[in-house]
Structure 1
Amino acid sequence: MADVERSVREELDRISPVLDPLGEMFAQAGHELALVGGPVRDAMLGRAHNDLDFTTSARPEETERLLGRWGDALWDMGRDFGTIGCRKGPWQVEVTTYRSESYDPTSRKPVVDFGHSLTGDLGRRDFTVNAMAVSLTDGSGRELVDPYGGVVDLATRVLRTPGRPEDSFSDDPLRMMRAARFAAQLAFEVDPAVVEAMTAMAERISIISAERVRDELSKLVLAPYPRIGLRLLVETGLAALVLPELPALKLERDEHHRHKDVYEHTLTVLEQSIDQESRLADLSGGGPDLVSRLAALMHDIGKPRTRRFVDGGQVTFHHHDVVGAKMTRKRLQELRFSGDTVEAVAKLVELHLRFHGYGDGEWTDSAVRRYVRDAGDQIERLHVLTRADCTTRNRRKAERLRRTYDELEARIARLSEEEELASIRPDLDGTQIMEILGIPPGRDVGAAYKFLLELRLDNGPMTEEAARAALLQWWASR
């Protein structure tokens, strides 16, 4: 506990350039103000950040007036929910009026009622570890307010709701997904009563908009321990409603156990892809990579639809890559992911088996060029996914696959250096094609361009003279 107190004290001292002037300003105006929620929790965990949440007795119009005098920039997009935000130097601040919010059973949007006390405001929050505050205007300095036992739950690493979980989830069903997300972020145990309520009320998630579900799912997938949160979604039935392809991977085992547990395999692939994320620093900025993690999560979702039993009890999943890519595109679009994310993840799912045609390295340079061409700007993520997809316990087989992929990457690097594989184009452009063949823009130019691109992939770079001769010969043969 002494370590927790020291962490809190150090963090409050660090953010005092915000706490002190804001507390004084609101107090002089006759209002209460408290640092609340995530910043308080993270201070106890020794985590520092510059996004600070406050709650106040002031109404939004008064908060706007006060922050307008103090901040460098002001925004009020959350006014309908009682929230006014501002930036002050490196700090981003949001101040929300004491409130209680609840959902009409048929509505996607909360009905907001402003409250009158800090304790009441904390009681409406999702979990006890987020229902702690540091009061800044009560005359006693920075006093910790913890009416629901958040400190103890933080120490024992348990997620509980301040009141009955049924009431909390009825007010905002998205909190059921937040339970899974916080479990994945903090590696906390979820209280059995919370799990029971999530299971009983899972269907209520259907009133939440796809965008809010997407945001929570993304935060869960990007967390340090996504397996924990994903398991909870599956076990409570929430996954069947928001990501049904995941629990569908829990295939009935065939009597001879001739295939892997696809569900467990998928979670392992996700973890193994996370272990390689340092390779993707240029794409992700050095943090968790959403596209790579989603691709790992979705790469085998085509298996349930393509599973077939053949002679001898063998199991096949022919074309599960192509089927899975279509399913991935449909699911991510329904969850309102961006078009770029949808296409990148679907491409990786469709290509994740391509390497297994490489065998013992007998691919031609032409095949390697096509592998790079088809992967495009997702080639590094494809490397990560393909390596992560090896979950065999047979060390000899795993080592052979690793060496083979090492060889493929070395060949890609060599050809890239020699031929600029990342930007493969025909040796003649469209203007040259039209000049040589004496034709106007149109379908024939596109056909000629495609012919020259295939020639380039097969043979590597050609001189302009050789490409011209090949083009004329192709044109004459049509």
Structure 2
Amino acid sequence: MIDFKKELSKYDFLKNFTELASKRNEKVYLVGGFVRDIILKRSRDEMDFLVVGDGPEFAKELANQFNVGKVTIYKNFGTAHFNYQGISFEFVGARKESYNRHSRNPEVAPGTLDDDLNRRDFTINTLALSLNKDSFGELIDKFGGLNDIENKVIRTPLDPETTFNDDPLRIMRAVRFAAQLQFDIEENTLKAASQMAERLKIVSQERITEEFFKILAAPAPSIGLKLMYENGIMKVVFPEIAELGGVEQRKDFHHKDVFYHTCIVVDNLAKVTDNIWLRFAGLAHDIAKPKTKKFIEGIGWTFHGHEEIGARMMKKIFHRLKLPMNKLHYVEKLVRLHLRPIALVEEHVTDSAIRRLAAAAGEDLDDLITLCRADVTSKNPEKVSKYLSNYDRVMEKVKEVQEKDKLRAFQSPVRGDEIMKVCGIPPSRTVGEIKKAIEEAILDGKIQNTYEDAYNYFLQIKDEYLKKEK
């Protein structure tokens, strides 16, 4: 059994809470995730405090003791926030909530400790530790949250339909906790989440996307992805991913079903990178397969062009999911190029083809290869080994070529201002066409990637392009 008093003694500042609660004749408790994570031995830098009394006033007085200048007060919800010693402190006055069916913003009224614990999302988050003088370190466990943590179960404290109806975002949070903690969702809780998935439509897209990306950031994102897909939640949140289910593909180095193949790809990425946008690219890499599926006799199902169409789908998806547009190009690029490297494993592949891949991928080449390696999901160890070694060969070829001509961030050695000066022309399309022709000549191996060769080639071709301008 955990000695909670000993755990709390690690934080000297908590004695200030005890003294202030006594002075104000109020009760204060450490609640929710921090208590849960003490039991799970997970580190955490957020503390939630429940004040049976005036939470914001308690926070302001405490902040004054700690010489903290900035306290953020949310009057509508009776909450307050400030940071201290690298920890985010959240304060709330004990409250009870009622909801309008068409909004997830509650009507709030003062309440008791029981009222406040009743309104919480899951039993594992209803645990509270007393910070009060007469009961310091005592665990309040009204709903059996400790037992659910030990049994690795996600369940709602009240009837799950009531809990999800009040705040549908809790459906996503249930999936997120299952993925993060690798817990199971209790049967009735999961059934209600499935039946009420459509209620997510009243929740802001930003909040849904935030929870979805926390699922993607989990150690094994497939736990959450499968829960969403198999219980109808994905169809509401990300229909393009739901549509991957049941789409068959050739099994050579993939799982037969595109959705389950995608789950393995994302898990493979999660084992080697925390880059959430690389994980998202893995999720989206085959997103156009349902649109491009075609059966060819003797070959089976094909998906010609799915990489290009998938890349083109990204802009609309980014807008709908309210994703940051500065990440769009990165994801588009990886989706567009994810089939390119495997085509370059043959012995006779030219330096030119290698250069084109390196130029297209630019600084994201390593991420592209990481995605390609994650894309190998066969259950046949020999095939996996073969395909992974193929990607090793591609990278060896890339390094050889890059060492020869330092092409990683390729541009014509002859710059636009020099072209304009020699040709006596202003900025124009012709300048870009000449630069492009020089780059193509280098990529095709016609000339070396040196200034001298590029400049001489420019002198040879410039008249041809100047004629077109006239």
Q: Would you call these one fold, judging by a TM-score over 0.5?
A: yes
Q: Which residue of 1 aligns with 2:127?
A: 132
The aligned residue for residue 276 of structure 1 is: 272
Change (3 A) 1:23 1:374: farther
Residue 367 of structure 1: how far off its partner (Å):
1.5
**Cα deviations across residues 417-469 of structure 1 (Å, max 9, x unaligned)?**
44333321111112211122121222222222222222332337444333222
**Matched length:** 462
**Which whole-Å CA distance do the structure 2 matches of 1:323 and 1:102 have between them?**
46
Alignment pair present for 1:171 and 2:169: no
State the SS of the aligned residue for 1:92: strand
2:462 corresponding residue in structure 1: 475
Q: Specify the alignment match of 2:212 in structure 1.
A: 217
Written as runs of structure 1 = structure 2, the 5 A alignment for 1:419-458 is 419-458=405-444
Secondary structure, counterpart of 2:49 in structure 1: strand
| TM-score, structure 2 normalization | 0.92
Offset, 1:79: 4.1
Write out per-residue CA displacement over residues 212-240 of structure 1, whole angstroms, 9 at most, x where no aligned residue. 00000000111112111111111221100
Query: 1-side partners of 2:347 and 2:390: how far apart?
Result: 7
Q: Is the 8 A contact 1:99 1:112 kept in 2?
A: no
Conservation of the 8 A alpha-carbon contact between 2:250 and 2:300: no
* Among 89, 92, 95, the residue aligned to 1:96: 92
Of the three residues 280, 300, 311, the one matched with 1:325 is 311
Q: 1:411 aligned to 2:397?
A: yes
Contact 1:131 1:148 in 2 (8 A): yes
Q: Which residue in 2 is equivalent to 1:283?
A: none
The one-letter amino acid paired with 1:399 is S
Aligned to 2:379: 393
Q: Which amino acid aligns with 1:470?
A: Y
Q: Does 1:295 align with 2:291?
A: no
1:298-336 per-residue CA deviation (whole Å, 9 max, x = no partner) reads 111111111011224721111111122223332232111
CA distance in 1, matches of 2:251, 2:341: 28
Task: Give how far 1:371 is off.
Answer: 1.0
Which residue of 2 is the match for residue 186 of structure 1? 181
Residues of 1 paired with 2:235 and 2:98: CA distance?
Answer: 25
1:85 to 68, 77, 81: 81
CA contact 1:251–1:304 (8 Å) conserved in 2: no
Q: Which moved more, 1:227-236 or 1:24-33?
A: 24-33
Q: How far apart, CA to CA, are the structure 2 residues paired with 1:271 and 1:78?
A: 39
Counterparts in 2 of 1:222-241, with a 5 A limit? 222-241=217-236
Q: Is the 8 A contact 1:301 1:324 kept in 2?
A: yes
> Structure 1-normalised TM-score?
0.91
3-state SS, counterpart of residue 66 of structure 1: helix
Q: Once the two structures are aligned, what percentage of the paired residues are identical?
A: 36
Residue aligned with 2:196, SS:
helix
Q: Which residue of 2 aligns with 1:315?
A: 301
Asked whether the equivalents of residues 97 and 114 of structure 1 are also in contact (C-alpha less than 8 Å), the reply is: no
- Report the 3-state secondary structure (helix = DSSP H, G, I; strand = E; otherwise coil) of the residue aligned with 1:219: helix
Distance 1:25 1:77, change over 3 A: closer
2:55–2:92: 8 Å Cα contact kept in structure 1? Answer: yes
Please state how far the C-alpha of 1:182 moved relative to its aligned partner: 0.5
Q: What is the SS of the residue equivalent to 2:92?
A: strand
Name the counterpart of 2:261: 265
Structure 1 segments, 4+ long, off by >6 Å, are 254-259
Letter in 1 for 2:265: V
Provide closer, same or farther for how the CA distance between residues 205 and 60 of structure 1 changes in structure 2, counting only shifts above 3 A: same
Structure 2 Cα separation of the partners of residues 427 and 51 of structure 1: 52
Match of 1:466 among 439, 453, 464: 453
Q: Larger deviation: 68-77 or 349-358?
A: 68-77
User: 1-side partners of 2:449 and 2:307: how far apart?
Assistant: 34
Give 1:470 deviation, angstroms: 1.2
Worse overlay, 304-313 or 392-401: 392-401
